[in-house]
């Protein structure tokens, strides 16, 4: 079975991680992926190529809408007959052209996969999103989601109640993120935080991830304390603004901008507490990764609660920074719980289990 995959970008974020987790673990004698993308390079590109994968590139719609349509149409006309399915991974429905062209050229399985629970795209894109939401069943045959909470953003009640709607859990490689004392020593030395209590966050610099609130929390409770340090892993349009805010709050030297890394598992090792104060989330795969490491996790109450596997996970409102300060201090006292690794291994988010589920739904017949 050959599947055309859309959803990979240059940023190794949550969607890219989900796709790659399945790509690494699936039996490619049964199901193989080819990738269609609109970036000059994509995250994990070298890994895909070295494993024998094929990547096709067309211009992005936002760069040149006319060329995008021409190139997408030409690609589908020349290649669609080779594919048994297309798997379209999206965070909003602003652009469903991949599904439209896939239907035009008769790719039999056309899977839309929802990865977010909201978007701050503005009113024009919101109108387009809702328009496409209303006509989605005309083009897609299967409706997947990372959580029931996210589905409300993407799908009608009719679709959610239908037989072609499925939750596909964001599986992770538990062993990859498990606690390792040697790596912890190495990473803390690399980041110059050997003697610090490290609060960590992983996420792109975007309104959704709520870095402003995180800085308010850190400044309120820990910014004047020498033993605390904040590390931020990610990239994005708002990074210059957040850097300026760090300077304005007098937190230079207390906050490290680590950039984006494909070995994010090593950065979890350096942390003492993981925080995710998101305004909205489809699921929050980084919270699963942090739990696999045994880290205490403080999450926004906007993160779907089904992400909680370990006991050392707490959800709080993002209306009150003081509550976050108090809970972080409690988590510091609690410390790392590497033994939680066993619970993650047995959970529904273990990639070994979710890959079986993925194959089952991918091969499902009408």
**121-178 per-position pLDDT tens digit:** 688 889 999 999 999 999 999 999 998 888 988 999 999 999 999 999 889 999 999 9
Window from 146-150, 292-296, 338-342 with minimum mean pLDDT: 338-342
**307-331 per-position pLDDT tens digit:** 999 999 999 999 999 999 999 999 9
Quote the CA–CA distance of 134 and 210 in Å, as a whole number: 30
Average pLDDT score over residue span 325-345: 86
Quote the CA–CA distance of 146 and 192 in Å, as a whole number: 36
Q: Specify the pLDDT at position 71.
A: 97
Q: Does 29 or 364 have the greater pLDDT score?
A: 29
**282-293 per-position pLDDT tens digit:** 899 999 999 999
**205-262 per-position pLDDT tens digit:** 999 999 999 999 999 999 999 999 999 999 999 999 999 999 999 999 999 999 988 8
* Beta partners for residue 292, in sequence order: none
Average pLDDT score over residue span 193-204: 96
Q: Specify the pLDDT at position 297.
A: 97
Alpha carbons within 13 angstroms on the beta-carbon side of residue 57 total: 8
Strand order of the β-sheet with 55-57 is 55-57, 32-37, 2-6, 85-90, 109-114, 142-145, 165-167
pTM of the model: 0.90
Tell whether the model's pLDDT for residue 82 goes beyond 80: yes
Average pLDDT score over residue span 190-214: 96
Residue pair 33/366 in contact by the 8 Å Cβ criterion: no
Tell whether the model's pLDDT for residue 17 goes beyond 70: yes
Provide the percentage of residues in the chain whose pLDDT is more than 90. 83
**21-55 per-position pLDDT tens digit:** 999 999 998 999 999 999 999 999 999 999 999 99
Q: Which two tokens stand for residue 47?
A: 């890994």
Sign of the torsion formed by the C-alpha atoms of 152, 155, 159 and 165: negative
Average pLDDT score over residue span 79-92: 96
DSSP string for residues in 177-194: HS--HHHHHHHHHHTT-T
In 26-90, where does DSSP find H-type helix? Answer: 45-50, 65-79
Window from 27-31, 116-120, 337-341 with minimum mean pLDDT: 337-341
Q: Specify the pLDDT at position 365.
A: 61
Mean pLDDT of the chain: 93
Average pLDDT score over residue span 105-134: 90
Q: Specify the pLDDT at position 328.
A: 97
Q: Specify the pLDDT at position 343.
A: 86
Q: Specify the pLDDT at position 291.
A: 95
């Amino acid at each position: 079975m050959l599947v055309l995959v859309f959803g990979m970008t240059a940023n190794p974020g949550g969607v890219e991680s989900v796709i790659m987790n399945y790509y690494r673990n699936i039996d490619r004698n049964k199901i193989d992926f080819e990738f269609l993308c609109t970036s000059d390079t994509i995250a994990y590109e070298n890994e895909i190529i070295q494993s024998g994968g094929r990547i096709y590139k067309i211009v992005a719609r936002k760069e040149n809408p006319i060329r995008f349509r021409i190139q997408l149409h030409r690609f589908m006309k020349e290649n669609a007959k080779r594919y048994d399915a297309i798997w379209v991974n999206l965070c909003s429905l602003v652009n469903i052209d991949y599904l439209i062209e896939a239907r035009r050229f008769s790719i039999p399985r056309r899977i839309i996969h929802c990865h977010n629970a909201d978007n701050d795209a503005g009113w024009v894109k919101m109108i387009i999103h809702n328009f496409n939401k209303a006509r989605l069943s005309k083009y897609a045959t299967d409706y997947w989601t990372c959580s029931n909470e996210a589905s409300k953003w993407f799908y009608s009640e009719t679709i959610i109640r239908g037989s072609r709607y499925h939750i596909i859990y964001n599986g992770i490689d538990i062993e990859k993120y498990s606690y390792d004392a040697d790596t912890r020593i190495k990473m803390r030395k690399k980041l110059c935080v050997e003697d610090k209590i490290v609060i960590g966050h992983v996420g792109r610099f975007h309104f959704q991830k709520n870095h402003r609130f995180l800085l308010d929390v850190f400044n309120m409770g820990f910014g004047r304390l020498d033993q605390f340090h904040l590390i931020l892993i990610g990239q994005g349009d708002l990074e210059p603004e957040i850097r300026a805010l760090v300077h304005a709050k007098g937190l230079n030297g207390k906050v490290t901008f680590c950039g984006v890394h494909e070995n994010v598992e090593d950065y979890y090792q350096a942390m003492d507490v993981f925080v995710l104060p998101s305004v909205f989330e489809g699921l929050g795969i980084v919270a699963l990764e942090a739990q696999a490491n045994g880290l205490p996790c403080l999450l926004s109450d906007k993160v779907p609660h089904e992400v909680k596997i370990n006991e050392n996970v707490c959800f709080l409102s993002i209306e009150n920074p003081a509550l976050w300060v108090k809970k972080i201090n409690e988590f510091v006292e609690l410390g790392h719980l590497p033994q939680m690794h066993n619970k993650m291994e047995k959970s529904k988010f273990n990639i070994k289990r979710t890959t079986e589920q993925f194959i089952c739904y991918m091969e499902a017949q009408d």
